C-alpha cells in the first residue's frame, strides 16, 4: 500500500509538472519568435525613417548612393531597400519579387528559412513606394528556445525526482500507523492482552487506534473478571470434595467405597486442571512470589483436611524470612495443592505427611509415610510405563522447570517429592 500511495503521489507530480511546463515551453518559443520579428521590424522602420529624413532634408527622394550610405550605417546584411523602379539596394537570402509589396503599411511575411518585415516609404513623385525589407532567420526566431527548454526540462526532472522521497514520507505517515494497529491486533489475538497501539497519523487513523485500545481494555477486563470467577468457583469446590471424601471413608461396602473414591479423585483432578488453566491464562499476574508466605497461608486449609482424615501433618517453614522464587503465587499454590492431593489420593486414611520449605536453594518438599512412589515416571503425563500418577505431578514438573528449577524424588521409605524453584530475577 505504501508503494501504491507513493506512485500515486509521483504520478500527480508528473501530471502537474507536464501541465505547467509544456504550455510554458510553447510560450517561450512564441515569445522568442515575437522578439525576433520585433527586432526585424525595428530595423526596417529605422531605415525607413532615415530614408524619409534624407528626403525631407534634400527635398528629393534619396538615390542609390544615399540608400547605400544609410544601410552601411546600420552595418547589417539582412536589410534591403527596394526602389520604385525595382532596384534592390542590399541583399537578403530571399527573392523579394514574390512578396506582397504595397504602400498600405508595414507587414511581416513568413518565408522559407525565416520571416521578412516590410516597411513602405511613399513619396509624392513616385507611384510606387520605397520598400525597406528586413530578414530574420529561423535561428534568430528561435534564439534561446533550446536553452530555455533544457532549463525547463531540468526543473521538471528536479520536481519529479524530488517528489519521490516526499511521496514516500507521505505514504509512510499513512501506512505506518495502520501497520502498528494491525500488529497490535495480531499480538492481542495471539494472547498478548497487554498489546496496545500509540494513536498517530491522520485523525481518522488515530481515532481507530484509540478505539482499539478502548476495546482491548474492555475485553481484558471482562476476561480477567471471568477468570477470577472461575478460579474462585474452582477453589470453593475443593472443600466440599474433601468433605465428600471423608463421608465416603465411612462406607462399609469396600467395592462401592473404592469406586466412589476413584470418582472423587477424578473430579479432583478435573478441578485441579481447571484451576491450573485459569491461572496460566492470567497474563497480568507477575512471575514472582514469596514461597514461605504463600505456603504458610495455604497450609491452614490443608491442616483442617488432614485433621478430618486423622492424618498427622507437620510443617517446617522459615519464619520472618522472604524466599522469593520465579513463579507466581498461583503457580506456587498449584504445586502445593497438587502434591498434597497426590498424598490424599494415593495413601490410606490416617497416613501422615510432612511439608518443608527451604531457602537454600528455594524448595518445597512433601513427604508422606506411605509405601512410596513406584517409578520416576510419575512426573510424565500419560507415560507408556503405566507408572504415571496423572495430570497433577506433570503440572508440578512443568511449573518448576518454567521457573528455572526442577523436580526430583528424595530418599526415604515413603514418597518424598522435592520441588526446586528458580530464584526470582
Class of domain 2-147 (CATH, top level): alpha beta
Q: Residue 132: helix, strand or coil by DSSP? A: strand
Secondary-structure breakdown of the chain: helix, strand, coil percentages, each rounded to the nearest 5: 60, 15, 30
- Is there a contact between 260 and 297 (Cβ–Cβ < 8 Å)? no
Could you tell me which of 425, 194, 415, 190 has the C-alpha nearest to residue 326?
425
Predicted local distance difference test score (pLDDT) of residue 176: 81
The grid coordinates of residue 144 equal: 534561446
Predicted local distance difference test score (pLDDT) of residue 358: 92
CATH topology of domain 224-420: Heat Shock Protein 90 (3.30.565)
Q: Is 360 exposed, middle or buried (0-12, 13-18, 19+ CB in 10 A)?
A: exposed
Could you tell me which of 301, 296, 350 has the C-alpha nearest to residue 322?
296
288 pLDDT higher than 70: yes
274 pLDDT higher than 50: yes
Per residue in 332-387, pLDDT (tens digit) is: 888 898 898 888 888 888 899 999 999 888 999 999 988 877 666 666 554 433 44
Predicted local distance difference test score (pLDDT) of residue 352: 92
Predicted local distance difference test score (pLDDT) of residue 367: 93
Torsion sign across C-alpha atoms 212, 217, 222, 226:
positive
CATH topology match: 2-147 vs 224-420: no
Could you tell me which of 22, 76, 19, 24 has the C-alpha nearest to residue 47?
76
The residue with greater pLDDT, 3 or 150, is 150
Rounded CA separation 334/169 (Å) = 53
121 pLDDT higher than 90: no
Percentage above 70 pLDDT, the chain: 83
Q: Residue 260: helix, strand or coil by DSSP? A: helix
Per residue in 5-58, pLDDT (tens digit) is: 667 767 777 887 787 788 888 888 888 888 888 888 888 888 888 888 888 887
Per residue in 164-203, pLDDT (tens digit) is: 777 777 777 777 888 888 888 888 888 787 888 888 877 8
The residue with greater pLDDT, 327 or 412, is 327
- Region 64-72 average pLDDT: 84
Provide the residue ranges of all domains of the chain, joining segments of one domain with +: 2-147, 224-420
- Region 137-154 average pLDDT: 84
388 pLDDT higher than 70: no
Could you tell me which of 288, 298, 320, 304 has the C-alpha nearest to residue 366?
298
DSSP state of 421: P
Across the chain, what does the average pLDDT equal? 79
The grid coordinates of residue 220 equal: 481484558
Predicted local distance difference test score (pLDDT) of residue 378: 63
Predicted local distance difference test score (pLDDT) of residue 355: 94
Predicted local distance difference test score (pLDDT) of residue 244: 76
The residue with greater pLDDT, 324 or 269, is 324
Judge if the upstream peptide bond of residue 361 is cis by omega within 30 degrees of 0: yes
Rounded CA separation 355/416 (Å) = 10
Predicted local distance difference test score (pLDDT) of residue 374: 62
128 pLDDT higher than 60: yes
Provide the pLDDT confidence category of residue 284 given band limits of 50, 70 and 90: very low
Amino acid at each position: 500500500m505504501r508503494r501504491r500511495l507513493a506512485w500515486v503521489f509521483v504520478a500527480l507530480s508528473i501530471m502537474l509538472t507536464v501541465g505547467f511546463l509544456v504550455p510554458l515551453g510553447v510560450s517561450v518559443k512564441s515569445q522568442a519568435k515575437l522578439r525576433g520579428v520585433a527586432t526585424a521590424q525595428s530595423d526596417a522602420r529605422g531605415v525607413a525613417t532615415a530614408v524619409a529624413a534624407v528626403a525631407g532634408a534634400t527635398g528629393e527622394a534619396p538615390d542609390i548612393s544615399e540608400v547605400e550610405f544609410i544601410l552601411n550605417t546600420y552595418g547589417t546584411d539582412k536589410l534591403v531597400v527596394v526602389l520604385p523602379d525595382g532596384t534592390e539596394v542590399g541583399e537578403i537570402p530571399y527573392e523579394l519579387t514574390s512578396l506582397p509589396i504595397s504602400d498600405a503599411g508595414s507587414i511581416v511575411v513568413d518565408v522559407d528559412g525565416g520571416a521578412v518585415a516590410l516597411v513602405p516609404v511613399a513619396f509624392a513623385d513616385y507611384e510606387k513606394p520605397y520598400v525597406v525589407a528586413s530578414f530574420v532567420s529561423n535561428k534568430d526566431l528561435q534564439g534561446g528556445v533550446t536553452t530555455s527548454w533544457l532549463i525547463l526540462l531540468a526543473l521538471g526532472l528536479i520536481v519529479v525526482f524530488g517528489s519521490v522521497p516526499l511521496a514516500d514520507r507521505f505514504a509512510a505517515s499513512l501506512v505506518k500507523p495502520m501497520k502498528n494497529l494491525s500488529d497490535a491486533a495480531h499480538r492481542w489475538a495471539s494472547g498478548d492482552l497487554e498489546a496496545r497501539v500509540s494513536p498517530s497519523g491522520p485523525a481518522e487513523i488515530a481515532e481507530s487506534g484509540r478505539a482499539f485500545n478502548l476495546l482491548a481494555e474492555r475485553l481484558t477486563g471482562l476476561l480477567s473478571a471471568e477468570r477470577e470467577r472461575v478460579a474462585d468457583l474452582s477453589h470453593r469446590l475443593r472443600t466440599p470434595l474433601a468433605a465428600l471424601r471423608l463421608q465416603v471413608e465411612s462406607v462399609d461396602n469396600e467395592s462401592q467405597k473404592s469406586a466412589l473414591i476413584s470418582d472423587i479423585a477424578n473430579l479432583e483432578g478435573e478441578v485441579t486442571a481447571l484451576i491450573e488453566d485459569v491461572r496460566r491464562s492470567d497474563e497480568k499476574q507477575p512471575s514472582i512470589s514469596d514461597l514461605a508466605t504463600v505456603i504458610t497461608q495455604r497450609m491452614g486449609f490443608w491442616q483442617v483436611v488432614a485433621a478430618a482424615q486423622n492424618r498427622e501433618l507437620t510443617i517446617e517453614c522459615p519464619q520472618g524470612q522472604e524466599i522469593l522464587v520465579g513463579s507466581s503465587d498461583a503457580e506456587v499454590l498449584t504445586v502445593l495443592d497438587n502434591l498434597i492431593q497426590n498424598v490424599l489420593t494415593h495413601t490410606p486414611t490416617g497416613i501422615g505427611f510432612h511439608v518443608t520449605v527451604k531457602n537454600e536453594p528455594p524448595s518445597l518438599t512433601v513427604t508422606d509415610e506411605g509405601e512410596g512412589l513406584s517409578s520416576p515416571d510419575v512426573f510424565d503425563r500419560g507415560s507408556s510405563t503405566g507408572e504415571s500418577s496423572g495430570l497433577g505431578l506433570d503440572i508440578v514438573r512443568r511449573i518448576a522447570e518454567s521457573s528455572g528449577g526442577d523436580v526430583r524424588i528424595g530418599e526415604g521409605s515413603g514418597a518424598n517429592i522435592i520441588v526446586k524453584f528458580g530464584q526470582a530475577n
